[in-house]
Homo-oligomer: A and B are copies of this chain.
């Protein structure tokens, strides 16, 4: 067992995944704090540690991980009792400054990943973006992070937010495009899994060449005839048509010779 204990606030997907990974890496779970006792007790029993519904951090030497939704963090910090311990949040879009003035040693421990209940991610590959109030705290957080992942980055709040935004474009928005694609396929009587080999090939190509070189399709070739055919299909859905034109124009401009 390693010498630093941890407290996890929030027993959702992130809190569950992170605390189980920390325990696996040899860190000592001290306490699960969660508003609802069902989820909180469940996680505490998996970690074999205490559970509390009360937002009170023990004075024992530990790192406190706030794993609650982004919009709850400021309120949570206001409610927390003072502690000499290190306190971190795990949010990509929240500044480290929410801790400023109240705590001495604080930071951010942001895994660039989306967690799903019941699916254990490959932690060694997950980028961990670390920020800290001081070198001592950096040292502790990087020591912990290094036992989970091989990919650690120091990043300030402003750049972390940019990184979070890039993940929204690349992952959240792409997912929505696949949603649109699935609906078009439904219209053609085709199952949506027909797209998966192409998606996997797209990702492989991206990873090997970067997105600029990996780009293909009618907009890339500025193939007006095909684009006109596509727009005709979208005639009954002006908002999709608008999206199609907008993205195609951006791509065409980018590759204009």
Contact = CB atoms under 8 A, between A and B. Distances in A.
Interface string A204-220: 01110011101111111
B199 A206 contact: yes
Oligomer: number of copies: 2
Contact of A229 (B93, B192, B210, B217): B93
Contact of A193 (B184, B205, B207, B250): B207
Interface stretch (A34-42, A49-57, A131-139, A153-161): A153-161
Contact of A174 (B174, B192, B196): B174
A133 to B, nearest CB: 20
Given A162-B184, A184-B162, A210 B233 contact: no
Interface in A125-144: 125-127
Contacts of A210: 182, 192
Name the prevailing secondary structure of the A interface residues. Answer: helix
Contacts of A59: none
A179 B246 CA distance: 15
Contacts of A243: 246-247, 250
Interface stretch (A3-11, A75-83, A113-121): A113-121
Given A159-B190, A165-B234, 10 more contacts: A114-B198, A125-B197, A162-B188, A167-B198, A168-B230, A169-B244, A170-B195, A171-B216, A179-B215, A203-B203
Interface of A: 69-71, 93, 112-114, 116, 121-122, 125-127, 151, 153, 155, 159-182, 184-185, 187-190, 192-203, 205-207, 210-212, 214-221, 223, 225-226, 229-230, 233-234, 239, 242-244, 246-247, 250-251, 254
